[in-house]
Structure 1
Amino acid sequence: MKKPYTPRGLPPKNIEWADHIPLIAQANAALARYDGILETMVNPGLLLSPLTTQEAVLSSRIEGTQATLEEVLEFEADPVRKIEPSKHADIQEIINYRTAINRAVDLLKKRPICLNLILELHGILMDSVRGANKSRGQFRKIQNWIGPPGCSIEDASFIPPSPDALPAALDAWEKYIHSEEKDRLAQLAVVKAQFELIHPFLDGNGRIGRMLIPLFLFEKKILSAPMFYLSDYLERNRAQYYQALNSISEHEDWNGWIRFFLTALAEQAMENTKKARAVLKLYEKMKREVPAITRSQYAVQAIDTLFYRPIFSTTDFITDSKIPKFTAFRILSELEGKGILNVLREGRGRKASILVFNELIEITEHIG
């Protein structure tokens, strides 16, 4: 049987800094280009809201959920509609992920990344979902292990540190986040990996670890907004992702992990830039077309509401946009008539229609 992993001191002693310079430069340049797009957005939180939800979808998919972006947004537009219990559970996990990262953004305005912040995020992430009974919002007090579903500790592929070793490991990890390092991106690679190796929770470690990425980039002022979506790359390269992490625990191969992580940052920053540019281009297009179609003083409110929630009920549109009811219905009818909006489900009786802004969904899921 494997022994529990013993975290080494931070920073790792064997980082080959000179070898990483080309990738560090590439990742920093790609992130700077992406941040340039963020800085041109008046409200990136609103415009990139669907991308934040898609990040929640993909990060949760790495852990086994199957729900899609459309299914999540459609559920939020009509939460009383009956769906399979397993699908409902998947969707709730995704919504919790998005709620946690939005909460983290608020918390970072008052305090830096710290263990108490991590505990609060975990409490939100695991609220009323599978694993909610596994010490939600608390660091574990028992041994956990990783392996095939249902395996015993004897057959585990990885055994995290023992509960007695957690306090010291987490304290060192927290201190390292706020230490000065030769490069912030390599430091983030170490922060992310060490958290997952410590595995301080009984469930939700991977999702919290991935959440740390945009929060760190924002706190260290590498990005002007905490909006970076790495789960797409990690989900597509899942086998390499886990292999690189395992190589740290088995061979202390921090350099292999840092290479993988810097490559992920650089490539995903380029993909995120394409998506953000496409969203911004669509927003500018809507700012020309919607006022011309509707001739309404509420055109900008309508556009912002569509970008915030691209699948919605007519009732939610009225509430979110704060546009008077009859004017809102007229705007929606005119946008549907011009093909900007499509009906997903017709309303019946008191049940509101569900509409979709397909062009934004297409960018969110397929551009890049």
Structure 2
Amino acid sequence: MPINGSKVNNKIGRLEEKFNHSIVSQALVQILSLSESVESTRIEGTQVTFTDMVEEQNEKNPRWEIIEVRNYQQALIEGYERIKNGYPISSRLIKELHEILMIGARGSTQASGQFRKIQNFIGPNNRIEDASYIPISADKIDEYMQNLEYFINLHPYNEPLPINHLKNGDYIFNENSDPLIKTAIIHAQFESIHPFLDENGRLGRILIVLNLVQSKTVTHPFFFVSEELEKERPRYYDMLNGVRGSNPNWADWILFFLNACNRMSDRIHRKLVEAEQLAKSGLAQCNTESEKKVWVYTFSDPFTNAATVSNKLRISPNTARNALNSLAEKKLIYSDTEVKRNKKYRNYDLMRILRD
């Protein structure tokens, strides 16, 4: 059966309902947003795995790959909080999120939070002659971004966006389109405008999440699509290139995006079901409230230690340590018996579910 927006929206709606009734939903928001941050960063070529990130996310002197993933997660959560509190997706918000992405990033940060002032291009090297795509000139960015804002939020005076520039037979997806189709268009248009010197790709994928929240397709940032996009990275880039130029192929791009969302909804549903089963099985083996709290906490921080648990749950270090050791004795989590100080505790069963 051909995929369509309604079918995928229904799947995401059922997923949302299940998520809202899950005992581990809030814990999984953190770990799923971390997974999204890793996958989106990997699309840009950063060689860091989800396991690396979980293992190293609390390092005091992280390598730059970890910094980039941390920045993405911070920008994602910050953007979500703004949308939840009623702020619309706007150029101002986009610039502020770009600034977060650029904290401690590779290369120059002079243009952090600012639209580019010079021409850029996408290509295999530093020669514009070899570019696979040359975006609009810098002097047109404000105009194009305002048009994109109107498409996202509707015109401030409820005026319809003009379509007189379109030819007969062109696709017309207006500002009132199905939320998933509209999100696909927003992402592709932002990537085509390419308003910043760097971090356009990752910021464009954050916009996918934010528009799904703003359109009330989801109420929490748990539905992400970067994992599926990363699996087909060359095709993803090819589909984006296909909507540019004088003969844009919107049909193939939108179908590609809907299929990715469809597969991702199935994947997240399976992860949520298995994670909830694991959580319930573990809770049935817990003897104290402290053990239960710590066990559920490991679903947001699968590789943790007593100091972190103590700080996050606001319990004493001894209570945290005793609960973790009890969970390890029950084989719910793993700890290295040879290590005596700063011992780490790992919820490998959850990690297996999240990586599959």
Task: Note the C-alpha offset of 1:346.
Answer: 5.4
Q: In the alignment, which of 81, 84, 107 is matched to residue 106 of structure 1?
A: 81
Q: In the alignment, which of 72, 76, 98 is matched to residue 122 of structure 1?
A: 98
Distance 1:270 1:40 in 2: 17
2:147 maps to what in 1? 172
Query: What pairs with 1:201-280 in structure 2 (closer than 5 Å)?
Result: 201-250=196-245, 251-280=247-276
Distance 1:132 1:316 in 2: 33
The DSSP-based 3-state class of the residue aligned with 2:345 is strand
2:29 maps to what in 1? 48
Task: Note the C-alpha offset of 1:286.
Answer: 2.3
Distance 1:67 1:132 in 2: 22
Note closer, same or farther for the CA distance 1:129–1:347 as it changes in structure 2 (3 Å cut). farther
Task: Note the C-alpha offset of 1:132.
Answer: 4.6
Task: Note the C-alpha offset of 1:110.
Answer: 3.5
Q: In the alignment, which of 155, 160, 177 is matched to residue 130 of structure 2?
A: 155
- Note the aligned Cα RMSD (angstroms): 2.0
Q: 1:300-351 CA distances to partner (integer Å, 9 max, x unpaired)?
A: 3212321121111221122112222222222111111121111259545xx5
1:90 maps to what in 2? 65
Matched AA of 2:225: L
Q: TM-score, normalised by structure 2?
A: 0.88
2:331 maps to what in 1? 339
Q: In the alignment, which of 281, 293, 298 is matched to residue 306 of structure 1?
A: 298
Please state which structure has a larger fraction of its residues in helix. Answer: 1
Matched AA of 1:284: K
Task: Note the C-alpha offset of 1:147.
Answer: 0.4
Distance 1:253 1:32 in 2: 28
Residue 337 of structure 2 corresponds to residue 361 of structure 1: no
Note closer, same or farther for the CA distance 1:132–1:316 as it changes in structure 2 (3 Å cut). farther
Distance 1:258 1:54 in 2: 24
Distance 2:260 2:306 in 1: 39
Matched AA of 1:158: Y
Residue 321 of structure 2 corresponds to residue 329 of structure 1: yes
The answer for unaligned runs of 5 or more in structure 1 is 1-19
Provide the aligned length of Structure 1 versus Structure 2: 334
Q: TM-score, normalised by structure 1?
A: 0.86
Distance 1:25 1:48 in 2: 25
The DSSP-based 3-state class of the residue aligned with 1:64 is coil
Note closer, same or farther for the CA distance 1:345–1:218 as it changes in structure 2 (3 Å cut). farther
Note closer, same or farther for the CA distance 1:261–1:344 as it changes in structure 2 (3 Å cut). farther
Runs of 4+ with >6 A deviation:
none
The DSSP-based 3-state class of the residue aligned with 2:134 is coil
2:284 maps to what in 1? 288
Distance 1:132 1:41 in 2: 43
Q: 1:269-299 CA distances to partner (integer Å, 9 max, x unpaired)?
A: 1111111222222222222222xxxx32323
Distance 1:315 1:181 in 2: 49
Work out whether residues 24 and 299 of structure 2, in 8 Å CA contact, stay in contact via their aligned partners in 1.
no
Task: Note the C-alpha offset of 1:243.
Answer: 1.0
Distance 1:345 1:64 in 2: 37
Work out whether residues 23 and 276 of structure 2, in 8 Å CA contact, stay in contact via their aligned partners in 1.
no
Distance 1:345 1:174 in 2: 55
Work out whether residues 93 and 125 of structure 1, in 8 Å CA contact, stay in contact via their aligned partners in 2.
yes
Work out whether residues 291 and 326 of structure 2, in 8 Å CA contact, stay in contact via their aligned partners in 1.
no
Note closer, same or farther for the CA distance 1:312–1:181 as it changes in structure 2 (3 Å cut). same
The DSSP-based 3-state class of the residue aligned with 1:308 is coil
Distance 2:137 2:231 in 1: 31
The DSSP-based 3-state class of the residue aligned with 2:8 is helix
The DSSP-based 3-state class of the residue aligned with 1:307 is coil
Note closer, same or farther for the CA distance 1:120–1:44 as it changes in structure 2 (3 Å cut). farther
Query: What pairs with 1:67-86 in structure 2 (closer than 5 Å)?
Result: 67-79=48-60
Work out whether residues 230 and 265 of structure 1, in 8 Å CA contact, stay in contact via their aligned partners in 2.
yes
Work out whether residues 60 and 94 of structure 1, in 8 Å CA contact, stay in contact via their aligned partners in 2.
yes
Work out whether residues 119 and 138 of structure 1, in 8 Å CA contact, stay in contact via their aligned partners in 2.
yes
Work out whether residues 344 and 356 of structure 1, in 8 Å CA contact, stay in contact via their aligned partners in 2.
no
Distance 1:188 1:221 in 2: 12
1:7 maps to what in 2? none
Identity %: 32
Work out whether residues 77 and 316 of structure 1, in 8 Å CA contact, stay in contact via their aligned partners in 2.
no
Note closer, same or farther for the CA distance 1:346–1:214 as it changes in structure 2 (3 Å cut). farther
The DSSP-based 3-state class of the residue aligned with 2:331 is coil
Distance 2:3 2:31 in 1: 33
Distance 2:52 2:336 in 1: 12
The answer for unaligned runs of 5 or more in structure 2 is 155-174
Note closer, same or farther for the CA distance 1:21–1:115 as it changes in structure 2 (3 Å cut). farther
Matched AA of 1:264: A
Task: Note the C-alpha offset of 1:54.
Answer: 0.9
Distance 1:132 1:282 in 2: 45
Work out whether residues 318 and 325 of structure 1, in 8 Å CA contact, stay in contact via their aligned partners in 2.
yes
1:34 maps to what in 2? 15
